[in-house]
Amino acid sequence: MKALRFAVSVPQFLALKVLGPFLPRLHYRGPLATVRLDEIPEPPLPSPAWVKIRTHLCGFCGSDQSLIFLRDSPTASPFTSFPCVLGHELSGEIVEAGKDVRRFAAGERVTVAPSLGCAARGIDPPCRSCRMGKPSACENTARGSLSPGMFSGICRDVGGGFAPFLTAHESQLFRLPEGATPETGAMIEPLAVTLEAVLENRPDQGDKVLIIGGGVIGNLLVQSIRALGIGCHITVSEPSRFHAELAAKEGADAIVTDGDLFGHVPELTEARRYRPMLGREIFMGGFTKVFDVVGKTETLRTAMRIMAGGGCLSVVGIGDEVRLDLTPLWLKLQTIRGVYGYGYHTIAGERLHAYDLALRLVREGKVRLDAMITHRFPLEQYREMIAVNRNKTFHRAVKTVVSFLK
């Protein structure tokens, strides 16, 4: 079968770091490309507790793009292995179930939570994070019966969704509701990410919330807050008016498209501005909850300076190394939280995985997911898909997917 695989060597990495800024297409075209379409065998079941899935749709995530363009910090490299088949936002149908699989059967339509925690790796007893219901933060993602890999799509032994077939452990599977489209199934993963972020940094009704970045994740953060019945004030900062206006349609109260967040803070939050002898202004008062979907030095610096005392900043975007002035952190007693993956939460006395909650919101019609998929590509057109993602505003793209449906 044909599959889209990622791989990079040290010489290739160094060459692309020099040439890539001038010729970005070298990352996906030509001899230095980090991704290519390879012929590989259909994957066998790693153990009797796994299933084989026929892929229907697989979304192209911002993390896939960052990996292809080598924008991630090398710090995470011990917890990946390649060549690996990319893709972790997917829906499909089970075509084979191992003899130890109890809750699922061939013919069922599913989506996959890609985290490769202790259960998938055959490790017992599980690590502290897995015991706490946070398999995405598993401490054993470089151990066990599988090659290193935090999740499906960056593990050499477990293929991702950019192939006609992949395998998944029973613990990763979630059944799609009756009537749910393949498009909805492929969007459950990014929705679960944003629900996790909101549940870990849940706004109150009176909070002033700022979302930095209005693309797929920014849009779904707005939808998640509103779907949970939280009536707080939401501001979305996004340079693309196209994407900002989509966020406004989903419930954002204010959008900032001119890049001048500092100039808008007083009117949006009634914060007071102070000017140091050198450097950018700092505000007393400001946004009480901030979700940074970009995760770069400039956005994090801005967030800390315009966030209120006691505020909480959730870093949702995965960037490279950053440099920060920590004065706002101690001066305003702020909290900075990392956001990654999804886990279990107690909601109204019920223990639910973020995927369970996402699927419940789908069944109740409280989120709109299908409409976010604007572009579909066959796997052979992966280069065109990457090119669209490099300039989403020009192409009026929100979420792009690879489709294996006829």
Please, are residues 242 and 396 in contact by the beta-carbon 8 Å criterion? yes
85 pLDDT more than 90: yes
DSSP code per residue over 144-202: TTS-S-SBTTSBTTB--SSSSEEEEEGGGEEEPPTT--HHHHHHHHHHHHHHHHHHHTP
What does the pLDDT read at residue 205? 95
- Looking at the DSSP assignment, which residues form a beta bridge with residue 344? 353
pLDDT digit string, tens, across residues 351-362: 999 999 999 999
Beta-carbon count within 10 A of 221 CB: 29
pLDDT (0 to 100) of residue 73: 85
Outline which parts of the chain fall under CATH 3.90.180.10.
2-175+369-403
> Domain 2-175+369-403 belongs to what topology?
Quinone Oxidoreductase; Chain A, domain 1 (3.90.180)
Q: What is the rounded CA–CA span in Å between residue 347 and residue 259?
A: 37
How do residues 294-348 score in pLDDT, each as one tens digit? 999 999 999 999 999 999 999 999 877 899 999 999 999 999 999 999 999 999 8
Q: How far lies 292's CA from each of 135, 246, 301, 359, in Å?
A: 23, 18, 11, 25
Segment 5-15 shows an average pLDDT of: 96
User: Alpha helices, DSSP H only, in 32-100?
Assistant: 62-68
217 near 295, Cβ under 8 Å? no
Distance (Å, rounded) from C-alpha 52 to C-alpha 210? Answer: 41
Residue 32 has pLDDT above 90, yes or no: yes
Q: In the predicted model, is pLDDT for residue 284 greater than 90? A: yes
Whether 130 contacts 122, CB under 8 Å: no
Q: How far apart are CA 402 and CA 382, in angstroms?
A: 8
Residue ranges of the chain that CATH labels 3.40.50.720:
193-338
Q: Is 16 within 8 Å of 27 (Cβ atoms)?
A: yes
Which is nearest to 153 in space by CA: 14, 21, 341, 337? 341
Which CATH number fits the domain 193-338, given the four candidates 3.30.1280.10, 3.30.70.2190, 3.40.50.720, 1.10.3720.10?
3.40.50.720
Provide the pLDDT for residue 320.
Answer: 78
Share of the chain above pLDDT 70, in %: 100
Tokens of residue 227, six digits: 């779907």
